[in-house]
Structure 1
Amino acid sequence: MSEPEARGLKRAAGEREAQSALDLLAGRGRDLLVRIVTVACEDRDLPELAAELSGLVVRSAEAVAFCDVYVVDQDGRRLEWGGPPVPLGMGDAGWVAAHGRARPHADGRGVAIPVHRGNATIAVLDIRFAGPCRRDDVTLVTALGELFAPVLCSARRLRAAEEREHAAERFAERAVEAQEAERTRLSRDIHDGIAQRLASLGFHLSAAERAVPDHHPEAREQLRLARAQCDRAGAETRAAIGGLRPPVLDDLGLSAALAGLARETGASLDVTVTVTGELDDALPDHVQTALYRIAQEAVANALRHADGTLVDILLENERDRVRLRIADDGRGFAVPDAGVPLDSYGLRGMAERAELLGGRVTVTSRPGVGTTVEAVVPVPAFIRPAAPGTTARP
């Protein structure tokens, strides 16, 4: 017999067995079909679906006393069920998952049955009888497994996607925490080092100015100018320390931190902050921190480069995501097709922060019409929008 003929006979035998199983299911009556459809259509995660399938097997078969459902993980290395994971190839269920063939228990009172999806074994139904195995029940359970193969496969893919999403969220959170820890360390080092030395230098300059005799006005003037420069350096250092980690972000949340940012910048720009939606309690800390950093950099860019008079900051909730928009009325610039100028360290940093959280930053600008920076970041939980918006002007 040629190989194509052998494959044809094998396929025909499989089709006959499948048809026999379907006939057997149909012969069990409408109640069984209703139970199958009900379980298959329920919106359940993988462990609950496996438990429902196990119960369906026991209720549908005549002599099956117990059923364990083992699901092969996405990596194909182990089987997951209600107990500790089973390595592929270990025990009856592991052997069946590795070889793709049914295997009777050694005592003759059970059998492990593979569930196939295409050429892969995605699950194993391990059934046990009170007495010897009954062939009709084995055929019935095999048919149930094949019917549930697409449902199990979809549930497995969904869980894998959710695990990847959670892993990405944890990575983003750890990355932001690492960045903030480094900023905190820098803030502490600057405070304990440079800031203290500048303060000490200011005292010495003041003392030197007082010690210079009156008949050396040029020397006294130079010391006065040096002390003024030292005072400005100290003020800039304190501002840098506050910018590295604003305490209000930890104490009062993102809305208050944005309002504080507006107050700090208000001497040079008219900054308005508008917040819509109940955001602070629902947003994770690392998301709040990233959004604050984006706003901080956008306002700093407007202050340094835009030469404008007004900045509007809008923070709004859109069900499953949060939008931050910073618009100024400055000189603007030509934006490349990519949307974020690659030669701008600040804008590139904003984009990277948003992308780390699964979001994006877009920059809209034209010479003479100002610049708008918009960050859209997904949030892991639904936020109920508040009816009225709140506006704070420093």
Structure 2
Amino acid sequence: MTPPVVGKQALEGHGRDLLVRIVAVACADRELPQLADELAGLVVRSAEALAFCDVYVLDDAGRAVEGPGEPVPLGDGDVGWAAAHGRSRPHADGRGVAVPVHSDGAVIAVLDVRSAGPCADADAALVTALGELFAPVLCSARRLRTAREREHAAERFAERAVEAQEAERTRLSREIHDGIAQRLASLGFHLSAAERALPEHHPEALAQIMLARELCDLASAETRAAIGGLRPPVLDDLGLSAALSTLARDAGAALDVTVTVAGELEAALPDHVQTALYRIAQEAVGNCLKHARASCLDLLLEHDRDRVRLRVADDGAGFPAGQPGARSDSYGLRGMAERAELLGGRVVVTSRPGAGTAVEAVVPIPVLSRPRAPGRARPGTSARP
């Protein structure tokens, strides 16, 4: 590793401009590998005769360095050797050098530079000095990368969990449709046949058959409702906004319902997020119909850049939220909270007697689904102007 005095000498003549550019890159909204590309471009522009620079960053497992192309295992080639041994390694043709970047005594990255002719000692020293300046920037980038990967893993877990729940709901819906619903339909057919076959002088038996027929029809209607509740086809076919509108229409016979959708990010919402929000709305509307004695119900779906908010509010009887035995402790409300928490969000229930109830769910939009800024060309791989 170049002694500090050599590093300072190598930076002489570049003035504050180089430091300002390094700070600008460090403060920019960049993540790996874009940040590495920006730093590579700084190396090329700052040197006298370097044509190319690639920045390789140690992966989280500490077994390879990642840069352009495939990861390089520690010990492989000039870059892997420099990463494994913590010392610079000149290229065999003398036209470049792989320079390790250290932080807290460990290698965290490698700057691999190349020139059209023999690599000048001054440029090699400059690269080493720049590596020392880059070290804290690359450390922060590695931590951010780790955090992002963990966030992505949590998102994938949430997606799989919701998918598993919905798959089970779909299975139950299919079994109910093919089993109980078909048997109830058959039972209704046989009750109708028995009613027609019964002699007229058995009024009591006829009354019992008619009562059984009514119960069979009621059970069939409840079964159809259960099938629709387990997996609403409109959610798959038309998306969350249309599903909420359908939910509102179904409740509209008993309530004055309005649905408001704000924002234009629904196309970016993953299916498992839309499903979870629909389930929360479904539970909230169901609670309103069962308990609130409300006349009006408002549904709001609001998309923002990094979150989506669902609010279901009624003007019903309300309840003393937070007190033992109150509806805020019910299984349904706990289920809504758990659905939101699984996605990294939250559910807040606001209510008091005589003032109605509002259920608000706020869920972050997964990182992988957020719009990203257009990518930039890799300056580190371009010829020096």
**Structure 1 residues 66-124: Cα deviation after superposition (integer angstroms, max 9, x where no partner):** 54322112332210011211223434433432343334556766543221223332101
Q: Is 1:142 matched with 2:128?
A: yes
C-alpha RMSD of the superposition:
3.0
Which residue number in structure 1 is paired with residue 285 of structure 2?
299
The residue identity in structure 1 corresponding to 2:321 is V
In 2 relative to 1, CA 303–69 (structure 1 residues): closer, same or farther, beyond 3 Å? same
* Residues 1:100 and 1:240: Cα distance change in structure 2 (over 3 Å): same
> Which residue pairs with 1:115 in the alignment?
101
Q: Distance in 1 between matches of 2:24 and 2:309?
A: 40
SS in 2 for 1:281: helix
Residues 26 and 33 of structure 1 are in contact (CA less than 8 Å); yes or no, is this contact kept in structure 2? no
Secondary structure of the residue that 1:263 maps to in structure 2?
helix
Structure scoring higher RCO (CA < 8 A, sep ≥ 6) equals 2
1:278 aligned to which of 264, 267, 273: 264
| Secondary structure of the structure 2 residue equivalent to 1:316 | strand
Q: CA contact under 8 A between 1:326 and 1:374: conserved in structure 2?
A: yes
The superposition leaves residues 194-228 of structure 1 with CA deviations (integer Å, 9 ceiling, x where unpaired) of: 10100000010111111111111000000000010
Give the 3-state SS of the residue equivalent to 2:229 in structure 1: helix
The count of residues paired between Structure 1 and Structure 2 equals 367
Give distance in 1, aligned partners of 2:255 and 2:45.
Answer: 73
Mark the CA change 1:26 to 1:180 in structure 2 (over 3 Å): closer, same or farther: same
Q: TM-score, normalised to structure 1's length? A: 0.82
1:167 to 153, 157, 160: 153
SS in 2 for 1:231: helix
Residue 324 of structure 1: aligned partner: 310
Output one character per residue of 1:234-273: Cα deviation in whole Å (capped at 9) or x when no partner: 0010111111111222222222211211222233334332
Structure 2 residue 222 is the aligned partner of structure 1 residue 239: no
Could you tell me how far apart the structure 2 residues matched to 1:63 and 1:320 are?
44
2:338 aligned partner: 352
Compared CA separation, residues 61 and 327, structure 1 to 2 (3 A)? closer
Distance 2:3 2:35 in 1: 26
Partner letter of residue 302 of structure 2? E
Gaps of at least 5 residues in structure 1 are 1-13, 383-394
Determine whether 1:377 maps to 2:366: no
1:52 Cα deviation after fit: 3.8
**Percentage of matched positions with identical amino acids:** 75
1:251 counterpart = 2:240: no
The amino acid across from 2:203 in the alignment is P
Q: Does 1:69 align with 2:55?
A: yes
Q: CA offset at residue 329 of structure 1?
A: 3.1
Report if aligned partners of 2:318, 2:357 keep a CA contact under 8 Å in 1: yes
Corresponding residue number in structure 1 for 2:190: 204
Does structure 2 retain, via aligned residues, the 8 Å contact 1:103–1:113?
Answer: yes
Give 1:58 deviation, angstroms.
Answer: 4.1
Counterpart of 1:147 in structure 2: which amino acid?
L
Distance apart, 1:134 and its partner CA: 4.4
Unaligned runs of 5+ in 2: 372-385
Q: What CA deviation, in whole Å up to 9, does each residue of 1:171-196 have, x standing for no partner?
A: 33332222222212211111111101
The correspondence for 1:195, drawn from 173, 178, 181, is 181
